[in-house]
Amino acid sequence: MPSAVADLLAILDLETLDVNLFRGNSPKAGWQRVYGGQVIGQALVAAVRTVEPTRPPHSMHAYFLLPGDPKVPIIYDVNRMRDGRSFTTRHVTARQHGHPIFSMLVSFHADESDQLSHQAVMPDVPLPESLPSEAEVRKSVLPTMPDPVRRYYERERPIELRPVEYERYLGKKFADGRFNVWFKTTDKLPDDPAIHQCVLAYSSDMGLLDTALVRHGRTLFEKEFMAASLDHALWLHRPFRADEWLLYAQDSPNLHGARGFSRGLIFKQDGTLVASVTQEGLVRLRREP
């Protein structure tokens, strides 16, 4: 298993400190703050460990309260709010330096797949095998990135991304504001469905807020922008594997007042809708001193 995927699994394998209390660490990637998807994924791991595996998570709603410090562990405190006949609810608070930095509600639901069903249609986009690899895209994009971001992308990473509209990183505007990205882990994962759910939660924060700038031909990689996730919501609809190609079909209905709102649908390669995501975040042009 490539070291990046092994490192991701290690990051998601929280240490149990006590009943409902867990500790997670951050990778040494040189970032000034913790990647939001890491906190989402670790918080979901903490919640999942307090619920029977026969009742999987179906939705989570999170708020980022303070920037996470990657130099110190994160403590996850799970509040068992409800254990009902069909639904289970958990509230997870992540803390550092004695303060809450993140809060997330997670709902679990017993399987009722025998009920009525419908889903959105997957966009008609090129398959991942026909697109340039991440390594090929990085050759043209890396020189334009700020130093910390470039150093991060130069490292071995656990998630491979293959954007369909990759020309947006070269300044091309897309009037419809849509951005489609294929993604998967760079190596096979264990078969436990909870691992795939937590890896998808980890991945769901990758680039979603950046979609708010697609219409403008800009990207959050530019030094002029200050950005931070404010909240994040994820719904899991159907089974999937995070080590097989998934299409993240994103768009941004609104950008105003330095807040961008983005949303995404995640599909299996056969067109099955497996998850939906929404996020609002700070998208601010830096003010002149």
- C-beta separation of 203 from 183 below 8 A: yes
Of residues 59, 96, 204, 229, which has the active-site annotation? 229
Of residues 203, 204, 205, 250, which has the active-site annotation? 205
**Contact partners, residue 83, CB within 8 Å, separation at least 6:** none
Any catalytic annotation for residue 210? no
- C-beta separation of 281 from 260 below 8 A: yes
- C-beta separation of 94 from 101 below 8 A: yes
Residue 259 — φ and ψ, nearest 5°? -125, 125
Alpha-carbon distance values, 106 to 55, 82, 246, 270 (Å): 12, 11, 23, 28
Any catalytic annotation for residue 205? yes
Any catalytic annotation for residue 119? no
Determine the Cα–Cα distance for residues 168 and 213; give it in Å rounded to an integer: 9
- Known catalytic residues are 205, 229, 279
